[in-house]
Structures are given as C-alpha cells and as structure tokens.
Amino acid sequence: MTISVGDKLPAATFKEKTADGPVEITTDQLFAGKKVVLFAVPGAFTPTCSLNHLPGYLENRDAILARGVDDIAVVAVNDLHVMGAWATQSGGMGKIHFLSDWNAAFTKALSMDIDLSAGTLGLRSKRYSMLVEDGVVKTLNVEESPGQATVSAAAAMLEQI
C-alpha cells in the first residue's frame, strides 16, 4: 500500500556521508519530534534531479526553515558515496541531508519504487516530496513522471508549509 497523508513513516535506516565520514541515520533520529521536508529523486546526478529539483531546495532552504521546518532531506536509491559526491558537488553538504536508501528498503516500504530499467537506471524511487511532522506524513506530492519536478518542487512545498 502506498504511503498516504496521515500515515506514519516506516522504520528505516539510511546511510549518509558527512564531513566527518559515513554515518547511519534512522527515521526516528531524523523525524521524531521534528517537522521535516523530505523529497525523493530517481537518482543523484541525473538531469532533472541535478538541474531542477535539488537546486530549488538548496535555493529555498532558508525560506523553508523560516516557516518552522527543522530539517530538509533528499533520499535516493544510490549508494552513500554517490550521495556524498552529489552533496559536495551541489554545495549542499551540511545544508540538507543526502540520504542513501542503498537497498531501496525505505522506498519499497512506501511503495514509491519504480522500475526504470528501460532507461538503464533499474529500480529507483518515484519523485515526490512530503512534509513530515513527528514521523507522520502531513502533505504528499508525487510526480506523474520521473522527468518532472513540479508538484514536488521546493516552490510547491513552500506553499504548503
């Protein structure tokens, strides 16, 4: 069953490459008692993700946090080294969490997985954004196509906070 507004996020453990090295971060550590914007991309360094989706969240980071959001995170079905390189290259290291869902466990638990084998990407995440309060989904925006970043964009999220 696909995650919906009002649902509690499933327990999961992500990997994140930080300035101090690799760490594990659980859904409880990230979401418990906090208001967090989470967005997902099909893949780090892919065109829409790198040129449109991620930059919008980095550019609007301060505006999002000013509306009472505690944290912002991006998740992708990539390994932590790719996510770390993307964080560094984009200038986002230390500004938002770049979460590696390396085995797609979280993505599958949300039923947000998509098979992009025809485009050589394999199993990936649908593109979406959500506002999560204390682990519960308050808003959810899922793109119809992985190549679009409109309803899940930072500008759309700002209107919902």
pLDDT for 5-59, tens place per residue?
A: 999 999 999 999 988 889 999 999 999 999 999 999 988 877 676 667 899 999 9
CA distance 53 to 157: 12
Determine how many CB atoms are found less than 10 A away from the CB of residue 65: 16
Catalytic residues: 49
Phi, psi at 13, each rounded to 5°? -125, 125
For residue 159, pLDDT beyond 80: yes
Alpha-carbon dihedral 109, 94, 28, 6, rounded to 10 degrees: -60
In the DSSP assignment, the letter for residue 126 is P
Q: Which residues contact 7 (CB under 8 A, 6 or more apart)?
A: 136, 137
| Contact between 9 and 102 (Cβ < 8 Å) | no
For residue 103, pLDDT beyond 90: yes
The whole-chain average pLDDT of the chain stands at 90
